[in-house]
Every structure is written in C-alpha cells, then in structure tokens.
Amino acid sequence: MSSASPGAAVSEFDLIRRHFTRSTTHTELAIGDDAALVRARPGMQLAVSTDMLVCGTHFLADTDPEDLGWKTLAVNVSDLAAMGAEPRWAFLALALPAVDEAWIEAFARGLFACADAFGVDLAGGDTTRGPLNLALTIIGEVPQGEAITRAGARTGEDLWVSGQPGRAALGLAALRAELSLNAAARHECLAALQRPQPRSALGQALRGLASAMLDVSDGLLGDLAHILERSHVGAVLDAPSLPLAALLATGAPPGSARHCLLSGGDDYELLFTAAPGARATLGALGARLGVALHRIGFITAQAGEIMLHEADGQRVSLAAAGYDHFARKPAPS
C-alpha cells in the first residue's frame, strides 16, 4: 500500500492496512514499498482488468461487507476467465468515508476468501478517505497467443453459455420485492447475486476451444452484441435451447424469468463461440468441471443482427438498437 492520505490520521490508515496485509505465495515484493514486484512466468502474456464499484451505483450502503469483498474480486476474476487467463495478483484501491473496523474486517474476510478460492495474491493497493469506492485491478497470465478475445467468432460456429444466467437478476428483483420466488430458489438466486462464482477453471479450459468469449455482466443479449460487433458477425438464438426451465421453476412469472435470462446481468457466466466439431469435447469438459454448457444458437454472416428463433417457428429480429430496447424494456409478467 502506498502512503497515507492527507487529512487522515496515519494510525487509522495503518490499522486498515493491517487488515489487507497477508502473506503472499507468488509475489516477489508485496505491500510496503513504492510498488509491488511480480514476475510473469516464461511464455506468459499478462491480462489486466480494472473494475470500480461505487456505493449507490453498484451496491447499497447496507450491502453485507463480506459479500462485497468477495464480489469486488470475483468480478475481476471473471474478466480474466473471459480471456482464458489465470488470475494471479490483485491491487485494491479503496476510499472509505470513515474507519469502521468491523466493516473493514468483514470486507477483507470476503476479499481473501475469494483470493484463496482462485489463487490470487493481494499484492498492493491504496487506502484513502472519501465516499465509499472500491477499485480493483487484477493481473493474470495466459500462454502467449492463446487469449480468447471477443473478436474471433466465425460464421457457422456454435454459440454457448455456461451455467444459469438470469438468477442474479431474479435475486435482485426478489430483493426489491418486484416478484416473489419459492424459498429454495430465492436462496440460490440471492447467492448468485451476492457471491457470484466466476468461471475461472472453465475459462482457462476453453483455450484452444472457444473462438470468442466474454463474461455476461450486462445481460446475455447486450453482451452477445459486443461479440458480434467485435467479430463483425450476427447470431441466431434458438429460444427452446435457452436454459429457461430452472428459472421457471423458481416461481417467477414466465415473462420475468425470460427477461432475466436474456437481459439480466451480474451472473458472470461465460458466453462463447466454438466450432461445431468441438461439441463432444465441450460436453465432456462441462461434465468434468460440473458446469452445464448450453448450446443456444449459432453465428451468422449478418453483422450485428440477432435473430431469435421461437419454438413455434416465429423468427424475431433483434437487430441494431432492437436488442437493446428488447433487453431493457420492463418485462411483462
């Protein structure tokens, strides 16, 4: 961590720093100097991502600090998973309005739980006084030339999504009392929202298999559009192949379930494309990792266009601004 901020008592911030200072396993020099020192392994390219979480924009002031600590790191681990990269080092800059030691202790506990789960060293950062703000930068490694970008999707390839997108959005709607879920489903959906499980092992295993990939943070349709834009292709979504059944079983109204599946963010599932020849390998991979992989459509040459093929044969174009409007309009229920 760098030096204390002007206007803050040194001892207060020393106290905070103690909560974030722990032994590291693969960092050559961690917290306590002007910079941390780390070394990339031979043949490795570095993948770097930064996310800033702001109180009132990304989370509420009364969010459980332990969950928040987990999520602050988890969303960055997910960004690296989406590149096929292994997370290695994290750097946390945080602004705190006041020193609430219980809050800080719980936040650090959540952060380190996630760090332990994914093999990340907290190698440095900065602590200062200000409106609550969490900025985390993560550095990971990926074998040179093997990173999976958003730009590699080709016409005729399959479109896949991992796990169960939509649960986090249902959880948020339930928290806001916009809908009600049955008890077990509510628990699961809140866990998806508050303790997202980034698909780190899956992302790394998809090197050499996925041609384009990202993590679903803004909603399946919106994020699919990012792949289409960078790859200059279009996509067909096969409605009956979408993993809707589990969301319908939550007790949510069918319209809301479908809306959350297509447009809900915050699940941090992986959306990727792969050649049809990889289907058997992907099936085995999902089974080995215990992650459902859903083949939900395919890539077309119609740049930027998303077509939805409904079970009844209806074909809905979600081209251009259409998908955005579709993704963002209130769900019928």
Write out the binding residues for its own copies, residues 7-46 only, by CB under 8 A.
Answer: 7-8, 10, 28-29, 32-40, 45-46
Q: Which residue in 103, 324, 326, 333 binds its own copies (CB under 8 A)? A: 324
Give CA–CA dist 169/269, Å, rounded.
13
Q: Is 312 annotated as a binding residue?
A: no
Torsion sign over Cα 16, 52, 55, 270: negative
The count of residues interacting with its own copies (CB under 8 A) is 73
CA torsion angle 312 313 314 320 (round to 10): 130
Q: Which residue in 215, 267, 269, 305 binds its own copies (CB under 8 A)? A: 215
Q: Which residue in 110, 124, 196, 243 binds its own copies (CB under 8 A)? A: 124
230 versus 309: smaller Cβ distance to its own copies: 230
Write out the binding residues for its own copies, residues 89-108 only, by CB under 8 A.
Answer: 89, 91-95
195 versus 230: smaller Cβ distance to its own copies: 230
Q: What's the token pair of residue 248?
A: 């319908």
- Contact (CB, 8 A) for 90 and 115: yes
Q: Residue 42 burial (CB < 10 Å; 0-12/13-18/19+)? A: exposed
Write out the binding residues for its own copies, residues 70-89 only, by CB under 8 A.
Answer: 79-80, 82-83, 85, 89
Q: Which of 237, 222, 249 is nearest to 294 (CA)?
A: 237
Query: Residue 1, SS3?
Result: coil
Q: Is 173 in the site for its own copies (CB under 8 A)?
A: no
Stretch that binds its own copies, among 146-154, 237-245, 285-293, 308-316 (CB under 8 A): 146-154
Buried residues in 127-164 as b, exposed as e (16+ CB within 10 A):
bbbeebbbbbbbbbbbbeeebbbbebbeeebbbbbbbb
Which residues are annotated as part of the binding site for Mg(2+)? 34, 49-51, 79, 126, 215, 218
Which residues are annotated as part of the binding site? 34, 49-51, 58, 79, 125-126, 150, 215, 217-218, 266, 323
